[in-house]
Copies of this chain bind each other. A is one copy, B any other.
Amino acid sequence: MTVDTKPRRRGRRGATAAPPSARDTNYRQLKNPFPAMKAFSDDEIANMHETAFRMLEELGMKVLLPEAREYFAKGGAKVDGEMVYIGRDMIEAALASAPKSIDCVAGARHRDFTLELGSLTFQPGAGAPHATDLVRGRRPGTATDYREMTRLTQHFDVFQMISPLTEPQDVATHERHYFTTEAQLTLTDKFPFLFSRGTPQVMDCFEMLRDFRGASDEQFLNTTYCYTIINTNSPRTLDVPMAQGLIDFAKFGQVSIVTPFTLMGAMAPITVAGAITLSHAECLAAITLTQLVNPGAPVCYGTFTSNVDMKSGAPAFGTPTHFQASLAAGQLARHLGLPWRSAAGSASNLNDVQAANENQMGLWGCLMAGATVIIHSAGWLEGGLTVSYEKLITDVEVLNMIAELCAGAKAGTDEIGFANALSEVDPSGHFFATSQTMERYNTEFYEPVVHDYANFGTWTERGAKDATTRATDVWQTILADGTGPQLDDARVGALNDFIEKRKAEGGAPPES
C-alpha cells in the first residue's frame, strides 16, 4: 500500500510534497446552520397533524405484537383484534413526556453528542444486503465487509453514529448480533446501532454494551448508549420485532429512531401531503408506545419518504418530492419539538453522477428541513440494496464540506483585512504574500479527501483517474492503517468470553 489519502502536488509554493493542512474543524458535534424551509403553510401542517390524529382514532393501526396491544389497551386505546384505535389524549400525553433533548454517550467522551432540534448528525448508508467496490465487485455483504465499513465509519469524524452498513450474510443469524456488536465496540469509539430483532438478541446486546462501557444496571437504564431504527410497515402496520424493539429500547432507556419508510404512490399516497400525513400517524403511534412503556424514554421522530417511478414502480431518491417530503416532516417535527431523522440516498446502480446528484439533492432536503439525524448520507446505492466503498468516500467529501459550513466563517477586522491584505496589494498584484495570507495559508481552506484540483495535463499524466477510482485508493489506505480506538483489554476479554458463552448456549435466533 503506497498510496496516500491526500494528493500531493508540486505547488506554486515550491514544495515537492506540501505539508498537510493544519486546519482542524470539529465535525463531532454539529449544529445545523441552514435556515429551515417550509413545504407547506403552518395551517396546512396543522391540518396534516389533525388528520393523523383522526387516522389513529378512526382508522386505527394494526399492531401484530400482543404485548404492544396490551400497552395500548392499558393506556386507554380501543383494541379490536389486531387493530388499535388510539385517542388524541394518549398521543398528546406521549408527546409531552418524550424528551426534547437526548444526550448520547459514545465509547469516548469527545464523541458524545446531543440529539435535539438544531443539532446535526450523519450516518452512512445502512442495512444493505450487498456491498460493492471497484476491486472486488458487487457481492452479498460479508463479515469482512461489515468490519471494513465499520472501520471506515470510525475513520471519518463526520459520522457521529455507527450504522449497520451491510448485512454480514456469512454470519449465522442466531450469532450475527454478537458479531456486529463486538465489531462496533472494538473497532470504533462512536455511538453504536443495535438491530431490533427480538428481545433475546436485544438483551444480549444490551448486556455486552453495558459491560463494555463499564456501566452498572442503573447507569445503563439512565444513560443513552445506543440506538435502534424502527420501521413501521406502511400503511398502518407495526410488526412483531419492531413493536418489541420499541418496548425493549424504551424499557432500557435507549433510543428508538422511528422511521416509517413510505414510497409515494405505492405504500403511501401519491402526494407529499398524504404520504407525510400517513408517516406522521405511524410515527405518533410508535412514539406513543414508547411512552406508554416508559414515560420519558428517548425516542426520535422520523420519516423516509420518497416516490416511486410511476412507469416502473421502482423507488426513486433525491427527487423533488423526496426533498419536499423531508421539508414537510421537518415542519411536523418542529411542531412536536422532537429530534428527528430523515434520509438521503440514491437509486443509481453504481457510483456515478446520478448517484452523486441524488444523494446530494436528498441531503439538502434534509438539511433545509432541519433533520437531526441524516441516515443513508453516504455510500447507499440501488435504493439501499448495496453500499459502495467508493461512494462512501466520495459522499464523505460532501458531508465534510457541510460540516465546514456548520463551522461558519468570520468577518472581523482581520478577516476583512483592510490593513493586512487589501491595502497591501496594488492593482493587478496578487495576495500570495500578504500578512493575512501568510498567517492563514495552512488553515483557511478545507482540504479535500478525494477531490482533485490538478489541471487537465497533470491529471492526464497521473492516469486520468475519476473520483470513484481515486476513492478506491482512499479506502484502501485507511484500511491498511491498522490503528483503532483505545481499548481496555480486560473489557475486550470479558466481551469475547460472554460471546463464546452465549454461542455455546446456542445464541439467539432473530424474531420476525
Contacts and interface: CB of A to CB of B under 8 A. Distances in A.
Interface in A1-31: 8-13, 15, 18, 21
A348 to B, nearest CB: 7
A444 B310 contact: yes
Contacts of A316: 445, 448, 451, 453
Contact of A360 (B266, B361, B394, B460): B361
Given A310-B445, A440-B270, A454-B349, A357 B394 contact: yes
A274 B417 contact: yes
A72 B8 CA distance: 47
Nearest to A35: B35
A450 interface: yes
Tier of interface size on chain A: 35 or more
Contacts of A349: 452, 454-456, 459-460, 464
A142 to B, nearest CB: 18
A138 B459 CA distance: 14
B417 A273 contact: yes
Interface string A30-59: 000111110111001101100100110011
Given A309-B445, A321-B445, A445-B319, A398 B431 contact: no
A136 interface: no
A361 B360 CA distance: 8
Interface string A210-239: 000000000000000000000001011100
B34 A368 contact: yes
B347 A430 contact: no
A456 to B, nearest CB: 5
Contact of A51 (B398, B409, B422, B444): B422
A129 to B, nearest CB: 11
Contact of A432 (B61, B266, B422): B266
A409 B312 contact: no
Interface string A371-383: 0000000000010
Interface of A: 8-13, 15, 18, 21, 33-37, 39-41, 44-45, 47-48, 51, 54-55, 58-59, 61-62, 83, 138, 233, 235-237, 264-274, 277-278, 307, 309-316, 318-321, 323-324, 328, 347-358, 360-361, 364, 368, 382, 385-386, 391, 394, 397-398, 401, 404-405, 408-413, 415-418, 421-423, 425-432, 434, 436-437, 440-442, 444-446, 448, 450-456, 459-460, 464, 466-468, 471
